[in-house]
Structure 1
Amino acid sequence: MITHSRRHCVVELQALPSRIGQIRRIVSAQLRHWELDPLIDRAALGVTELLSNVHRHAQPDKTCIVEIELRLGRLTVSVIDSDPRLPVVQTTRAEALETCGRGLALVEALSEAWGARERPDGPGKAVWFSLTAAPARAAPVRPVTIRTTPVREPARAVLLAVDPGAVATALPVASPVGARPG
């Protein structure tokens, strides 16, 4: 289920690997709609890491809510699940080729702030990160030069008859410059 208002979007889902790509696209589209294009890569990476943690660690189920909110120049992305255990950042030095245990450290590195809190309305927690939101720059406005050429009045045709038996011919009559038609 997806709900959103002007500056708030909520998506409920199962944190399964097949759904994480969909959520990345939803977050990206919402940020484009809010004209926050410069934040898309960091927000999409951060939400991917948080959803991956729900998939790996959350108990008893993988149901969660992704919430993105833009308020007072700050974008906050939260992932809320039903597991009450708060996450712990790995403090030991990870091996160079290790692929697990880096998610929260990555979220910490890409965001201005992050944290975890227990849910006040029941079991579970919310893990969040925030980014300073600056709207995408609009393309610079360039002045457009419009060249105008005065329109010349068309020449008026006048029929002249020289001889009643002759063929009449139309000859153009030029108006003097600045003269008004009569």
Structure 2
Amino acid sequence: MIRQPSRHCTVELQALPARIGQVRHVISAQLRYWRLDPLIDPAALGLTELLANVHRHARPSKRCTVQLCSLVDQLTIAVHDHDPRLPQLRAADTWETCGRGLALIAALSESWGVRPDGTGKVVWFTLPALPPALQEPPTVPPRWTRAPLEHTWTAAGPRTWIRGAGVG
């Protein structure tokens, strides 16, 4: 089956710490607009990791492009930078303070990968998405089927009764 992109968003930026936060807000707003609210947190976390890698490792510049592509059942987030060196998944030692970014991407995503792309590389990951009509409806707390309980204190101790029932 051939799947055509149903929605697409592209943001170009310099991967500096202040810009990373701004792009997270933009991406979160876009996902809300697409009614993919349940994907905001994992998408923002994965995107933050990819942009932090660009900020830390990409040479000669920190310029990159973030692309979101929402298909019927999948959201793909990709970051293209101009550094041709491909990142590799590795196991960080317990004492290391970095080196877990791609492992985090692998854990939170349905799939992920890296590919050379002309002037650099693209690192991407996917999250499962359902259109709003197929998502589980939010659970609404039931309305009171009876009158609420009232609590009072008397000299003999606490008393509880159903409001309006006249029993205690």
* TM-score past 0.5 threshold: yes
Question: TM tier, shorter chain?
Answer: 0.7 to 0.9
For residues 37 and 51 of structure 1, what CA distance do their matches in structure 2 show?
21
Q: Which residue matches 1:126?
A: 122
Aligned twin of 1:36: 36
Q: Which residue of 2 aligns with 1:148?
A: none
Show CA shifts across 1:4-37 (max 9, x none): x961000000000111111111111111111111
Aligned to 1:115: 113
- Matches of 1:128 and 1:37 in 2, distance apart? 20
Partners of 2:58 and 2:69 in 1: CA distance = 23
Secondary structure, aligned partner of 1:30: helix
Q: For the pair shown, which has the larger CA radius of gyration, 1 or 2?
A: 1
Distance across 1 between alignment mates of 2:128 and 2:139: 23
Give runs of aligned pairs for residues 167-182 of structure 1, distance below 5 A: none
Equivalent in the alignment of 1:65? 65
SS in 1 for 2:52: helix
Where in structure 1 do 4 or more consecutive aligned residues deviate above 3 Å?
135-141
Partner amino acid, structure 2, of 1:94: D
Counterpart amino acid of residue 108 in structure 1: A
TM-score (norm 1): 0.68
What secondary structure, in the 3-state scheme, does the structure 1 residue paired with 2:106 have? helix
Taking structure 2 as the reference length, the TM-score comes to: 0.74
Segments of 5+ residues of structure 2 without an aligned counterpart are 141-168
* Residue equivalent to 1:78: 78
Aligned residue in 1 for 2:13 = 13
Corresponding residue of 2:89? 89
- Structure 1 residues without counterparts, runs of 5 or longer: 142-182
Amino acid at match of 2:102: L
CA distance in 1, matches of 2:33, 2:47: 18
**What is the percentage of aligned positions where both structures have the same residue?**
60
SS in 1 for 2:60: coil
Distance in 2 separating the partners of 1:25 and 1:6:
22
Alignment check: 8 A CA contact 2:6 2:72 kept: no
Q: Distance in 1 between matches of 2:20 and 2:37?
A: 20
Q: One-letter code of the match for 1:103?
A: G
Please report how far the alpha carbon of residue 72 of structure 1 lies from its aligned counterpart in structure 2 after TM superposition: 3.1
Number of aligned residue pairs: give it.
133
**Partner residue in 1 for 2:145:** none
Amino acid at match of 1:131: L
Q: Which secondary structure state, in structure 1, belongs to the residue aligned with residue 65 of structure 2?
A: strand
What is the CA-CA distance between 1:123 and the residue it aligns to?
A: 1.5
2 CA distance for matches of 1:34 and 1:137? Answer: 16
Q: Deviations over 1:107-130 (max 9, x none)?
A: 0000000000011xx210000000
| Aligned-pair CA distance for 1:140 | 6.7
